[in-house]
Structure 1
Amino acid sequence: MALNSVNTNVGAMAALQTLNGTNTELGIVQGRINTGKKVGTAKDNGAIWAIAENQSAISNSLNAVRDSLQRGQSTIDVGLAAGDTVVDLLNKMKEKALAAADTSLTSSARATLAADFGSLRDQITKAVSNASFGGANIVDGTVSSMAFLSNDSGDAFTVTAKDLSLSGLSIAASASFTTASEALTMIGTVTTALSDATDKLASLGTNSAGLDAHLTFVGKLQDSLDAGVGNLVDADLAKESARLTALQTKQQLGVQALSIANSSTSTVLGLFR
């Protein structure tokens, strides 16, 4: 038999516990909707939160890897641009030397060709020395290789540098000619340098393609990590919205139930009338 007491209202206590539980669930759902996450702190789910934080740390560190690889791309692109200029200048130098090898030319005409040849030669030095990006030059012969970040562990993606300077192409800094025979010899020198330059550019281009491919991979890896973290911690807002509506209704019913339970003790007053 139920006890009629003004000191202890079991029905009110039960209704209050239910209402408090609903309010707690409602707070959790509102928090998920506000943050967009079902696991926002270690309190929500310690194991999932730890996994997500570790994967997020890796993804964030890959930003530095991407920056390094993109810097490498730019450095190589500038070097390749300089290399194209060097090849073009060598072709023009060969043309001048070939013209000067004509024995029917006068000395003054050959001297003019030699002056043009020297100007072209000096332009190679200028093109190579100016082919730097952020202070790094991969074609001036000052370094043998360059290392860029390849992963979040700090491992290196190494690119072999190519020397496209005059000395790297076996051309003397004062290379020229005064006679037809010297011009003929210079044709061979420039032809060899031209072949060497194109081989070096081809190798540099291969390295550049490898760098591009690795950068693409890093971007995809980062996207996959971000998607994985999202699967672990992101809230399904459509589901949470539906749950919010249900809990709000449940909350209103809980308030009504508590109100009814609280009013039940007032019936005891009727016994004293």
Structure 2
Amino acid sequence: MSSILTNASAMTALQTLAQTNKNLATTQNRISTGLRVTEASDNVAYWSIATGMRTQNSVLAAVQDGLGLGKAIVDTAYTALDKSIKIAQDIQAKYVAKETSGTDEDIIEAEIANLKAQIVQIAQSATFQGVNLLKANAEAQKVVTGFDAGGDTPGITTMEVAVYDLEAALTQATTSGTVGGAIDAMKAAAAALGSSKTRITTQTEYTKDLVDALNRGIGTLVDADMNAESARLAALQVQQQLGIQGLSIANTNSQNILSLFRN
């Protein structure tokens, strides 16, 4: 039946075209943003999971900053202590030379005093962001070691790094034997710092890997497949063109009715 009030074909064609335009807009948005889930209405479950993972990534970014600061503090102290041990070994050699007959004790004593002053200077300059683990009266420092996401109270984990009074390390050392004892203490302190340094480095690498894993997980959930979206865009553009043509054809039915009333 032909009617001038209702054009069923045109209505169907219009609905089809409207749906095609809606799908086309969705695909174009995915291509422009690179995401197939940009808000909760796109996919509630995936959006919620991705949002939680992004929050965890933000926390881990802060942890990475804390690890970097802690590593720099420990590394500064370790480097200074390592250099001081080498100088202390030179001091020990000087004391051995001093005990050898025929040497100028005054010259050697002056050299030893100069070397000890170097160690004191190293201790005083081994500072990073105002923190010095080798200076006299320094306080033990807490440094970030990671993030504990489990348990009832997730949060940043820390460890305490002990200080070593490098300024006073060789103050009382006046013989090769006493210097040897000071060197042993310096080595023990360096070993402790080295262990802390290794722990922080390991945790830094793990945190970076964890961030990468979370980013991959987020991408799996919300990233658009650009190859698929490109193919879908081409198909929808063809559907849009055909829909427009179909609507145009349906609208000509009303014009055909006029021909029935012409002489």
Deviations 1:8-51 (A, max 9, x none): 11111111011101100110011101111000112211221121
- Cα RMSD between the aligned structures? 1.8
The one-letter code sitting in structure 1 at the alignment partner of 2:201 is D
8 A contact 2:63–2:156 mirrored in 1: no
Distance 1:145 1:190, change over 3 A: same
Which stretch of structure 1 is more off in the superposition, 40-49 or 28-37?
A: 40-49
Q: Tell me, yes or no, if structure 1 residue 144 matches structure 2 residue 140.
A: yes
Q: Residues 109-124 of structure 1 correspond to what in structure 2 (within 5 A)?
A: 109-124=104-119
Q: Contact 2:144–2:159 (CA<8 Å) still a contact in 1?
A: yes
For residue 139 of structure 1, report the CA deviation from its aligned partner: 2.6
Following superposition, the deviation at residue 61 of structure 1 comes to: 2.4
Aligned residues: 256
Deviations 1:231-250 (A, max 9, x none): 00000010011111111111
- Asked whether the 8 Å contact 2:73–2:127 carries over to 1, the reply is yes
In the alignment, residue 41 of structure 2 is paired with which amino acid?
Answer: K
How many angstroms apart in 2 are the aligned matches of 1:228 and 1:100? 67
Partners in 1 of 2:220 and 2:47 — Cα distance?
12
Deviates more, 1:158-167 or 1:244-253: 158-167
Q: How does 1:197-216 map to 2 (within 5 A)?
A: 197-216=186-205
- Which of residues 53, 61, 64 is equivalent to 1:63? 61
Partner residue in 1 for 2:179: 190
Structure 1 position 258 matched with structure 2 position 247: yes
**Do the aligned partners of 1:162 and 1:204 also contact (CA within 8 Å) in 2?**
no
Select which of 95, 98, 101 maps to 1:97.
95
**Rg bigger for which structure?**
1
Query: Given the two structures, how large is their TM-score scaled by the length of structure 2?
Result: 0.91
- C-alpha distance in structure 2 between counterparts of 1:65 and 1:155, whole Å: 7
Aligned counterparts of 1:269 and 1:204: Cα–Cα separation in 2: 96
Deviation at 1:164, TM superposition (A): 4.4
Q: Kindly state the Cα deviation for residue 77 of structure 1 after the two structures are TM-superposed.
A: 1.9
Amino acid across the alignment from 2:144: F
Give the 3-state SS of the residue equivalent to 2:144 in structure 1: strand
Which string of whole-angstrom CA distances, capped at 9 and with x for unpartnered residues, describes residues 135-164 of structure 1? Answer: 122233512233225127542231423404
1:213-232 pair list within 5 angstroms: 213-232=202-221
Structure 1 CA distance for aligned equivalents of residues 260 and 90 of structure 2: 119
Report 1:1-273 matches (<5 A).
2=1, 4-102=2-100, 104-105=101-102, 109-140=104-135, 142-148=138-144, 150-151=146-147, 153-167=154-168, 169=169, 171-172=170-171, 175=172, 186-273=175-262
Paired with 2:195 and 2:118, the residues of 1 have a C-alpha distance of 26
Q: Is the 8 A contact 1:150 1:157 kept in 2?
A: yes
- Give, in angstroms, the shift of residue 187 of structure 1: 1.9
User: Structure 1: which 4+ aligned runs deviate by more than 6 Å?
Assistant: none
Contact 1:159 1:207 (8 Å CA) reproduced = no
- Answer whether contact 2:134 2:167 (CA < 8 A) is retained: no
